[in-house]
Amino acid sequence: MLDALVSGLRLVATLDLRLWEIVGLSLVVSLSAVALATLLGLPFGAALAVGRFSGRQAVIVVLNALMGLPPVVVGLIIYLLLSRAGPLGPLGLLFTPQAMVIAQTVLVLPIIAALARQSVEDAWREYEEQLRSFGVQGARAALTVLWDIRFSLLTAVLAGLGRASAEVGAVMIVGGNIDGVTRVMTTTIALETSKGDLPLALGLGMVLIAIVLVLNAAAHLIREAALRRHG
């Protein structure tokens, strides 16, 4: 056990190429997914916060529920869509990094949209009258509010990134965990542990924990700094 830990540390410290390729792909996949989810989720969340239409409450309830989507179920659904017989089969995306990005985007989108919806709605309740008194409306009012709460929104985005980089179920199913192609940190840890190659699993585990820790520390520090600077 201790030997495995030491070997794992050595892999990390010696910049083992195989290990860092896996880390690199993980980051590319998760960051792409979060970027896409942010692009779609922030406007959707903001529109949901400000818009008034029938069925809005139902949409909010569903969106909040989707925050807890099980990754394996997302993986399964995307698998079915991308499989050869599925509606998106002709694209040939199954078992590619792109498929993993799609699955993680679906997984993270509700988190970013729901958290953004809550932040924007709270801010809008406070700002609406004042902005209308200034004669500011529509998209300009929305941009003012989004800019004013940019630090809360960043927290929402980092929450999404934490979720994406830590999940295993979705990327395992749609990526297939193919060596050198779709193998990421979490799927490698699962595989190597079952194979008994503990050093690589432990090394990747340490990197993964470090990444999650850094993300959370960053979210915390940004919030603190924002509170101090802007109140």
Partner 1 sequence: MSAILPLRLEEVSFTAGGRRIIDRVSLALEAGTSTIILGANGAGKSVLMRLMHGLLAPSSGRIAWSEDGARRRQAMVFQRPVMLRRSALGNVVYALKAAGVPAAQRTRLALEALDEVGLRPLAARPARVLSGGEQQRLALARAWALHPEVLFLDEPTANLDPGATREIEAVIQAFDVAGTKIVMSTHSLGQARRLGDEVIYLHQGRVLERAPIERFFPQPATAEAAAFVKGELPWG
Helix axes 198-230, 2-13, angle to 10 degrees: 60
Least distance in Å: CB of 152 to partner 1?
10
Closest to partner 1 by CB, 68 vs 231, is 231
The 135-154 contact track toward partner 1, x by CB under 8 A, reads xx-------x---xx-----
Closest to partner 1 by CB, 90 vs 135, is 135
Report if residue 229 touches partner 1, rule: CB under 8 A.
yes
The whole-angstrom separation of Cα 68 and Cα 112 is: 12
> Which of 40-43's residues contact partners 24+ apart within 8 Å by CB, and which partners?
40/105, 40/109, 40/113, 41/108, 41/109, 41/110, 41/111, 41/112, 41/113, 41/116, 41/160, 42/112, 42/113, 42/116, 42/146, 42/153
Report if residue 220 touches partner 1, rule: CB under 8 A.
no
How many chain residues are in contact with partner 1, going by CB under 8 A?
16
The whole-angstrom separation of Cα 224 and Cα 162 is: 19
**H-helix or E-strand containing 172?**
helix 169-175
Closest to partner 1 by CB, 84 vs 229, is 229
Least distance in Å: CB of 149 to partner 1?
8
Report if residue 132 touches partner 1, rule: CB under 8 A.
yes
Which span sits near partner 1 by CB under 8 A: 4-12, 52-60, 124-132, 211-219?
124-132
Q: Residues interacting with partner 1, by CB under 8 A?
A: 126-127, 129-136, 144, 148-149, 229-231
